Amino acid sequence: MVSFALVAASQSQEVARVDNLGDPLPSRALLRMGTERFRSPGVIYDMVLADNDRVLVTAGDYLTAWDAETGKQLWRQSSRAMGNRLTTSYGVRCIDAMPDGMHVVTQGPGGDVLFWDVRTGKSEPTEIHAAADSGGMFGAVSAIDVSSDGKLFAVGNGRKLRIQNRAGEALFDIEENFGQLDPNAKDARGRRDRLFFGGPFHYGIFSPDAKILAKHACGDPKKVFLLNAETGQAEQTIQCKANAVRMDFSPDSKRIAITQRDTSIRMYDVSTGDLVWETTLDVDRTTETYTSAIKFSPDGKHLAVAERQQRLVLLDARSGKLIGSFQGHSWNPWAVAFSSDSTTLYSSGWGGIVHRWDVETLEQMPVPGAVLGTSVVAASHDGKWLAHVDQKDMVYLIDKASGKEVRKWKSTHGGCETLAFSHDGQLLAGGGAGDKVQVSVWEIASGKCTSHWLWPKGKDSNSGIQEIEFSRDGRFLAAASFRQDAAYLWELSTGKQVAKLKHKDVYGLSFTPASDKLLTAGWDKKVRCWDLPTANEATAFEIPESPGNGDERMYTVEVDPSGEMFATTQLMRRVLFWNLDDLIERGGIRIDGGFTFGSSCFSPDGLWFATGGSGKIQIWDPWSVGNDAEETMLFEFDGHEKHVYDIQFSGDNRTLVSGAASTSLLWNLRPEITVRSLSEHADSLVHANGPESYTAWWALVDAGDTAVPLLRERLPASRKLTNLGRMISGSAVGERDRRRALLMKMAASNKRSMRLGVAKRIVSVLSHIGSDSSIALLRELASQDDELGDVASQQLSVWAPIGQAKN
């Protein structure tokens, strides 16, 4: 059967594609797993409902309007349109709704304030501004609130809180000495308080009856002042027990609820300033915690409160008692909004996903017709299957050829943060955490769980699984747990744990093709090599610091399918390649943007290396690493709008899957091919580097049998190969570049030899053509007892998608 991906890959890039909800796919995307509904590519700090609850407007990295029922995006503006990017800090209020229900108000460029039409996304300037003498870095608006009658505006920045009318006339200013802000202020755990990172602030909100203004400022962050909204006269002072984070008045204006830095929520009487009740959430004090966003339901019965550890809770507003928790945020919530009838709660935060909750059941409400996806995705090695996970820990098995769901099952033993297929395509493993850390293995044919392991999180409540992988021979399964400083190794036939491998801050792992070693890497800047099956540590080395290269902590380690080398992804943009046998560095590359979770992988035949940093997907030639970047870089395109967490080739070199934020995509990697003769493309495959060699690979694969004799003609008279990476490995950077240039010049003039990377291109093209004549030539090469024969043999041994290659 010809797969969906291959059919799509031969079509014009101009064909517009949509997902099952009719939402457009990005250019080059063939399939979306999950949905773009209620999905922002940036952090969300605040939100409001408008147009009689028909429109939800979120503010943060982007200002976005959504259909409140379907989640379809109505319009979006970058935070640059609002003048500056705010942060999740003390004193920030990004947005408020105007009483007419059809407009919202936000900060604008400089000290301006803007009105936005919620249906069209058009903005209009106002006469409302921050205090005119508050220029510079403290002059930008950081907080905005509108009285319920629309007559008063509280506009805060780093120096002042100004109360003004719609004409921009100032009623009064509240100014404090922002210099009292302690830049070294500590949180409850003795660490620098990150909620001060936004700098000095003045923040105010009006009571629903428009009579009282609650003011909070950096000069005294443990106090909230209650003022007459029209005169600014002080009426009460609330002394908090910890720094105030966010606040909200009750619908009747008689009480005010305040979230505080010690993970507490405290309710105060507005008329007296007295404490009515306090609730401290039962949180793990081993990690940073605080309560943040808070909102009364319009009927006054409930309080929704966001908490640092991915939790959103519902409290009884009268007593402060915990009613329950809303489970589903993958990252910290910072924004909440109730529907006008108090039955639905909207929330979002650092993850950029908007959640809708049924207040009575505490359950997440579905988006009509959509799967609420995640970034967790995997592709089978035979190219038949894709798998992804939704927000309720349902695992979906997708037929890659049709894009259709085959079956799904619940990850019943806990959350699923990473997936991996076995090399024979029979099993799927997932790892993550619920109440405990868990790893499960399921049969692809049935979805039945065949093995699972559960163990305590230990001291860190955020413990989970960062990466999971099967050994090529199917004997072992390994999983890395960053917060437990350990990699776990199990034997699949018995289900027994072979070893708990101690590796501080371990993040990534990879088996060698022979399944005789396991490599682990982590934030301790070390790579460790473990012998199998003994699980004894064979060797370890620390990544040397290089001036100007940034952070050497590692996210992942990847062994190439031939076993010649491995790659490590450093925290700040760098990938290094190493000889597997002697652990000597071969060279490195720098990606665009930066890594968030080190998303990278080799192609199934090891010819290419893919990275997914800050949304951009890039394909590299690892066998030419160290040449000019334009020679090493083969192909790139804008993939996701957010950081890529997962990336894998899907069966062969033609397609790739990636996961970011709350959606996963299947991509077509075929470039636009220059009109040239096939002979010229064959010459480029052998003699060129960079994008020209990448385009030649595709042109020759497309040509099929016609390309086979052209490749035969270009085989060297001698089958000895020049391994540039190994020949220059270990050299200083400057010396490495000089030696590489010299060796490449010598290799180009020697017609009897060929570079190793070029030989890999040729055998890769032959295997992807997959015809009788191409596989016959590949086997003919493999039968020769020489270096080119070794490369051909390796290709046959790792090439699962071409059935003939295994016969």
Give the amino acid at 323. Answer: I
pLDDT interval class at 606 (50, 70, 90): very high
Q: Please give the pLDDT value at position 343.
A: 98
Q: Is the pLDDT of residue 801 over 80?
A: no
The pLDDT of 214-225, averaged and rounded, is: 92
**Tokens at 391, concatenated:** 């927000």
pLDDT band per the 50, 70, 90 thresholds, residue 304: very high
DSSP state of 558: E
Residue 507: count of CB within 10 angstroms of its CB: 25
Contacts of 271 (CB under 8 A, 6+ apart): 236, 254
DSSP state of 129: E
Alpha-carbon dihedral angle through residues 354, 358, 364, 369, given to the nearest 10 degrees:
-80
Return the closest-CA partner of residue 548 out of 521, 573, 577, 579: 573
Confidence band (pLDDT; 50, 70, 90) for 571?
confident
- Tokens linked to 217: 């400022």
- List the one residue out of 760, 772, 792 whose CA is nearest residue 686: 760
777-791 mean pLDDT = 91
Residues 678-703 pLDDT 10s = 999 999 999 998 999 999 999 999 99
pLDDT, tens digit, for every residue of 23-34?
A: 999 999 999 999
**What is the structure's pLDDT at 607?**
96
Q: Is the peptide bond before 533 cis (omega within 30 degrees of 0)?
A: yes
Pairing relationship of beta strands 486-491 and 476-481 according to DSSP bridges:
antiparallel
User: pLDDT by residue (tens digit) across 424-478?
Assistant: 999 999 999 988 999 999 999 999 999 999 999 998 888 899 999 999 999 999 9
Strand 754-755 and strand 721-722: the pairing is parallel
pLDDT at site 85: 65
Contact 55, 119 (CB under 8 A): yes
Residue 647, token pair as written in the block:
């990336």
Residue 539, strand partner residues: 529
Burial of 133 per CB tally in 10 Å (0-12, 13-18, 19+): exposed
**Core vs surface per residue 359-392: b (16+ CB within 10 A) or e:** beebebeebeebbbbbbbbbbbbbbbbbbbbbbb
Could you read off the pLDDT of 148-178 as tens digits, one per residue? Answer: 999 999 999 888 899 999 999 999 998 765 4
Is the model's pLDDT at 9 over the cut of 50?
no
Let me know: does 773 contact 708? Beta carbons within 8 Å: yes
Of 6-20, 32-46, 133-147, 497-511, which range is least confident? Answer: 6-20
- Global confidence as pTM: 0.85
260: Cβ contacts below 8 Å, ≥ 6 apart: 240, 241, 242, 243, 244, 245, 266, 290, 291
Instruction: Provide DSSP, 421-469.
Output: E-TTSSEEEEEEESSSEEEEEEETTT--EEEEEEE--TT-TT---SEEE
CA distance 579 to 559: 10
pLDDT at 412: 81
Most confident of 20-24, 53-57, 742-746: 53-57
Q: Which domains does the chain have, with CATH numbers?
A: 42-280 (2.130.10.10), 681-806 (no CATH)
Q: Report the pLDDT value the prediction gives residue 200, as an integer from 0 to 100.
A: 82
Which pLDDT tens digit goes with each residue over 105-122? 998 887 889 999 999 999
Judged against a pLDDT cut of 80, whether residue 799 lies above it is answered with no
* CA atoms within a 13 Å half-sphere pointing along the CA-CB vector of 353: 25
pLDDT of residue 802: 46
Q: How far apart are CA 784 and CA 780, in angstroms?
A: 7
Say if residues 352 and 661 touch (Cβ distance below 8 Å): yes
Task: Map residue 233 onto helix, strand or coil.
Answer: coil
Q: What is the pLDDT of residues 220-239, one digit of tens each?
A: 899 999 999 999 999 999 99
| Total residue count of the chain as it appears in this document | 807
pLDDT recorded at residue 133: 57
What's the mean pLDDT in 572-589? 88
What per-residue confidence (pLDDT) applies to 642?
Answer: 79
pLDDT surpassing 80 at residue 704: yes
Rounded alpha-carbon distances, angstroms, from residue 14 to 26, 29, 579, 726: 11, 12, 42, 42
* Per-residue pLDDT at 95: 93
The DSSP secondary-structure symbol of 353 reads: B
User: In what side-by-side order are the strands of the sheet with 574-579?
Assistant: 554-559, 565-570, 574-579, 585-590
Give me the chain's average pLDDT, please: 87
Please check the confidence at residue 720 and state whether its pLDDT lies above 70: yes
